[in-house]
Amino acid sequence: MSQTKYIFVTGGVSSSLGKGIIAASLAKLLQVRGHRVTIQKLDPYINVDPGTLNPYEHGECYVTDDGAETDLDLGHYERFLNVPTSQANNVTTGRIYQSVIEKERRGEFLGKTVQVVPHITNEIKERIQILGKSGDFDIVITEIGGTVGDIESLPYIEAVRQLKWELGDENSMVIHLTLIPYLSAAGELKTKPTQHSVKTLMESGIKADVLVCRTEHKLNDDLRRKLALFCNVKEDAVIESIDADTIYDVPNLMLEEELDKVVLKTFKLPIADKVNLSAWNNFVQRHKNPKNQVTIGLIGKYVELQDSYKSILESFIHAGAANEVKVKVESIHSEHLPQQEVAQKLGHLDAILVAPGFGERGIQGKIEAVRYARENKIPFLGICLGMQMAVIEYSRNVLDIKEAISLEQDPEAKSPVINLMEEQKNVTDKGGTMRLGAWACKLEKNSHVFKAYGSEIISERHRHRYEYNNQYKTQLEEAGLLTTGTNPDTGLVEIVEVKDHPWFVGVQYHPEYKSTVLEPHPLFVAFVKAALDNSKK
Ligand code: GLN
């Protein structure tokens, strides 16, 4: 078996430069050149995973097939590469320490003093190499979260230094993503912050092999030469990353800058002339040249922060391109949606999506939005909590069970149409204990979902503690809330649809986690199509 190559991506000067997008774009180029690539994210915070983080803190929590609650960058990796990620693709400082401390408790360190170096750094090195050693990948890209110089990232940087030494220059390299700020008063791009961040990296014993420079303006040759000279990299290893209209332009921009070639040259791997990005470019073309536009309301309680619903927004981009439609997503705060204002706030929408979520805040607004969509025959998609709200709304307003609610919002509820799952009843820890990851679901043939998926058995990812209460199933079905998807093993209701409605679907799972550029999610494609049909009425 050939040696796996490792690429480490560090960040300098500022956070939010888009390391994840650069890593994903490079991976895409290497993938279309025939290499098997995966991307890993190392997060320097103490939470064991982001599952316990409020979306305001860190954006959406992404979920993999194997049930890992992960950083949202893994969503970008999957959307770009169309290859599933797993628990091994996201590691946090919390997880590293947890594992080292558990080993210490088991006596595995044989009486030694347990220290950051070597025990924590060894654990990091092991976690980095798990993906490489699986034999599934030729190239592993590891993105180090945070900014070089942060106290938290030091053990990661040291682990990278050691691995580079062990693996050698032909098998490992460091790409440093940095910012070249533009001072408008001086009319100049400035290289000094980059010089300093490269120097900081150097103080930890790491020489950057490639600089990827985020910039608002083009870098001229003089500036490229200056950056190369003072940052100690080859001239062709200074890569411009200019602000793009969409993240989906970045692979092409990196191709023009030949980032992939610099990497392959470093690894002494063959470089074919042709790169086939046609499927990707076909998507970009459709995305950029829509024939129609629809406006879809996203009803949620974290709408102030775009990253909270990242995968949903990206799924709309994929599904929009598939339909040659621009999907304008209008975020509407569910806390500010009183009954008397619903028609005014939602009346102009072509379709309504009620978002996933937790807790009590903003619930009433979500129920009102469901009601409006149902009564006015507006295409509706409810995801997870959104589906649960659809069941509650139907129970209250059609079945006339006025106090229908979920046990999540009222643990003493008399009519819990949404129940706590049996296996959740004795769970006390919050982290990693929900019903997580991929589960099978069997679809009813005569349904919108079957029409969308075109197959009877599907697999979708979950993240919830509460479930449809089967005690109300007969009543709800007879009243017109159909069960069109169930877990084949447990009978758990996964999908509901309103009878005699143009398109009203609630799903207990999260379709947004599985939508990719090359495989837009069928449910989002069908939902956007329903919005388009509605807009033409
Ligand atoms: N809070 C609900 C539950 O735990 C829904 C979760 C979600 O929307 N992801 O069941």
State pLDDT tens for residues 260-312: 999 999 999 999 888 999 999 999 999 999 999 999 999 999 988 889 999 99
Q: Is 161 in the pocket of ligand 1 (CB under 6 A)?
A: no
Cα(349) to centroid of ligand 1, in Å? Answer: 25
Asked whether the whole model's pTM tops 0.85, one would answer yes
Residues 6+ apart with CB under 8 A from 491: 470
State which of 361, 385, 461 you would mutate to test the pocket of ligand 1, scoring each by most atoms of that ligand within 8 A of its C-beta: 385
384: annotated active-site residue? yes
| C-alpha 307 – ligand 1 centre gap (Å) | 18
Q: Whose CA is nearest to atom 8 of ligand 1?
A: 356
Q: Ligand 1 pocket, 465 CB below 6 A?
A: yes
CA atoms of 463 and 460, how far apart (whole Å): 10
Token pair of 251 as six digits: 């692979």
Nearest CA owner, ligand 1 atom 1: 358
Is 213 known to be catalytic?
no
Catalytic-labelled residue, pool 176, 384, 393, 494:
384
- DSSP-assigned letter for residue 306: G
The alpha carbon of 298 and the centre of ligand 1 are apart by a number of angstroms equal to 17
Q: Output Rg (C-alpha) for the chain, integer angstroms.
A: 25
For CA atoms 407, 412, 416, 420, give the dihedral sign: positive
Question: What is the pLDDT, as a whole number, of residue 253?
Answer: 97
CB count within 10 Å of CB 424 equals 16
Ligand 1 midpoint to CA 72 (Å) = 18
Residue bearing the CA closest to ligand 1, atom 6: 464
What is the rounded distance in angstroms from the CA atom of residue 411 to the CA atom of residue 344?
33
CB 443 within 8 A of CB 453: yes
pLDDT tens string for the chain (537 positions)?
579 999 999 999 888 899 999 999 999 999 999 999 999 999 999 999 999 888 888 899 999 999 999 999 999 999 999 999 999 999 999 999 999 999 999 999 999 999 999 999 999 999 999 999 999 999 999 999 999 999 999 999 999 999 999 999 999 999 999 999 999 999 999 999 999 999 999 999 999 999 999 999 999 999 999 999 999 999 999 999 999 999 999 999 999 999 999 999 999 999 988 899 999 999 999 999 999 999 999 999 998 888 999 999 999 999 999 999 999 999 999 998 888 999 999 999 999 999 999 998 889 999 999 999 999 999 999 999 999 999 999 999 999 999 999 999 999 999 999 999 888 888 888 888 999 999 999 999 999 999 999 999 999 999 999 999 999 999 999 999 999 999 999 999 999 999 999 999 999 999 999 999 999 999 999 999 999 999 998
Closest CA to 224 of 262, 279, 265, 275: 262
Here the tokens at position 525 are 């494609």
Strands 493-498 and 481-486: what pairing?
antiparallel
Q: Is 384 in the pocket of ligand 1 (CB under 6 A)?
A: yes
Yes or no: say if 7 and 122 are a contact pair by the CB < 8 Å rule: no
461 ligand 1 Cβ < 6 A: no
Distances (CA, A) of 137 to 8, 34, 93, 279, 326: 15, 11, 24, 22, 36
Is 441 part of the annotated catalytic residue set?
Answer: no
Determine the distance separating the centroid of ligand 1 and the alpha carbon of 319, expressed in angstroms.
Answer: 24
Q: Is 464 in the pocket of ligand 1 (CB under 6 A)?
A: yes
